[in-house]
């Protein structure tokens, strides 16, 4: 079912919703169960099973949705859910999912799925010119009882059988009181502030489902401009023994870089896992500009060389962890709409740390000081200096980039004609390289 066009501005939110979602997000919620899901092999079966068992409501936000085998399976389970009376809302980003066919969209629309596209724009001479301020979140909420948050899109390039360009990434499945907050946030994004919780969802809020303390943290361009970065900085500043960060697109701001370097200088073991086989060459070149100053201050830098790294995760002191959609680069930290979950749970942190440790041991190359010094000869020193000052000032400059109230439009109204569909994996791969995030 196509919903009416909506334009979202912070001033239009009811006051109590605004107080909940537009203020700084700092509250930890106890009693959650948080499970780590690695790559599409673990994520997609968990999500599709949850949707297949839905009885009342399914909310989905994703940056990328392609018409490959993963997208078609998502379409199938959403249509089945809608036909059995479940209320289904699906939102995609207009940049990340630009070429969904009329047939693909129409089948869901006819079944009763409510489809929306975030800030869609027509192409100009075949080019997409609206790259800034994207809806980069990946969120699924089912019946107000189970939520999924992470960095995994609905596309076949998150599966190992995609080949050498298959992405390495993570998500979490959540049960417990935090799900109500994630659900209410997802509803606020589609303008549905007053929808009652599904039966059974309220009871879950009162009963602990696990031992994890967790916090749902989002980033927007109004009231939550640096919330995710502030959580990273706070955890790094408080670190006493170890910081492990795996992040696909690493070019953080000056303050986060300073926090990492100071942690290493005071004896914390700081390890960064970055892309060694990037899906975009410029990503690796940008990160390399920062290697020298980081390694000189004692930070260990590893490059993951098995396949493109797409993860956005971290572990600090075997207790604090985060999984989400936010890269540590200018787009995620200063422009895009993002969502991460912060977790305080030693068992969860140990699981994530063990997987990252195994990755470093089996598939990463540590960058040595001598090799970096050779890279930084001559003109590279100048580039390093420019990069340092760029990261220091970019958050202020970001305010000069194009800004507008985000538009959420019915997806059927902006769906591409049949000829533009990404109906097979080869086409999906071309779009994946173009969208990349």
- The residues that are catalytic are 136, 138, 143, 310, 312, 317
Query: 185: which 2 tokens?
Result: 């946030």
Asked whether 398 and 225 are in contact (CB, 8 A), the reply is: no
8 A C-beta contact, residue 415 and residue 75: no
Query: Cα–chain-centroid distance for residue 399?
Result: 22
Reading the block at residue 289, the tokens are: 């500009």
Could you tell me which residues are beta bridge partners of residue 116? 91, 410
Q: Which of 315, 312, 309, 230 is nearest to 269 (CA)?
A: 315
Structure tokens at 39: 């790559």
Q: Residue 175 and residue 145: Cα distance in Å, rounded? A: 6
CA distance 354 to 217: 24
Label residue 241 exposed, middle or buried (CB < 10 Å: 0-12, 13-18, 19+): exposed
Question: How would DSSP label each residue in 363-407?
Answer: HEEEPPHHHHHHHTSTHHHHHHHHHHHHHHHHHHHGGGS-----E
Find the length of the chain.
Answer: 437
CA distance linking residue 391 with residue 387, whole number of Å: 6
Element (H, E) at 234: helix 227-238
């Amino acid at each position: 079912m196509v919903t009416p066009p909506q334009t979202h501005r912070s001033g239009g939110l009811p006051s109590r919703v605004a107080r909940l979602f537009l203020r700084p997000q700092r509250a930890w919620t106890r009693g959650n169960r948080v499970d780590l899901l690695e790559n599409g092999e673990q994520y997609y079966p968990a999500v599709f099973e949850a949707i297949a068992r839905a009885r009342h409501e399914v909310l989905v936000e994703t940056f990328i949705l392609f018409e490959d085998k993963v997208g078609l399976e998502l379409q199938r389970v959403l249509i089945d859910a809608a036909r059995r009376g479940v209320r289904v809302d699906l939102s995609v980003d207009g940049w990340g999912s630009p070429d969904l066919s009329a047939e693909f969209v129409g089948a869901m629309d006819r079944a009763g799925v409510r489809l929306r596209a975030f800030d869609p724009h027509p192409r100009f001479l075949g080019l997409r010119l609206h790259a800034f301020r994207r809806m980069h979140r990946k969120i699924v909420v089912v019946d107000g009882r189970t939520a999924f948050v992470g960095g995994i899109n609905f596309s076949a390039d998150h599966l190992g059988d995609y080949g050498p360009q298959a992405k390495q990434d993570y998500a979490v499945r959540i049960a417990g009181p935090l799900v109500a907050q994630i659900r209410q946030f997802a509803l606020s994004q589609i303008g549905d502030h007053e929808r009652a919780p599904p039966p059974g969802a309220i009871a879950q809020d009162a009963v602990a489902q696990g031992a994890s303390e967790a916090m749902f943290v989002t980033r927007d361009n109004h009231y939550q401009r640096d919330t995710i970065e502030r959580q990273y900085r706070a955890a790094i500043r408080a670190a006493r023994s170890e910081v492990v960060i795996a992040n696909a697109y690493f070019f953080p701001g000056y303050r986060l870089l300073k926090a990492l370097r100071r942690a290493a200088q005071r004896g914390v073991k700081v390890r960064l896992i970055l892309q060694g086989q990037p899906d975009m060459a410029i990503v690796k070149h940008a990160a390399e500009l920062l290697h020298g100053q980081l390694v000189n201050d004692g930070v260990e830098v590893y490059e993951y060389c098995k396949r493109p790294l797409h993860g956005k995760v971290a572990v600090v002191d075997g207790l604090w962890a985060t999984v989400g959609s936010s890269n540590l680069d200018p787009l995620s930290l200063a422009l895009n709409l993002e969502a991460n979950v912060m977790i305080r749970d030693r068992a969860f942190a140990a699981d994530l740390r063990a997987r990252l440790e195994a990755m470093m041991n089996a598939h990463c190359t540590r960058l040595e000081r001598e090799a970096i010094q050779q890279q930084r000869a001559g003109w590279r020193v100048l580039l390093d200096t420019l990069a340092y000052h760029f990261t220091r000032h970019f958050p202020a400059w970001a305010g000069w980039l194009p800004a507008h109230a985000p538009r959420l439009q019915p997806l059927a109204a902006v769906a591409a004609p049949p000829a533009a569909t990404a109906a097979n994996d080869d086409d999906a791969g071309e779009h994946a390289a173009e969208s990349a995030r």
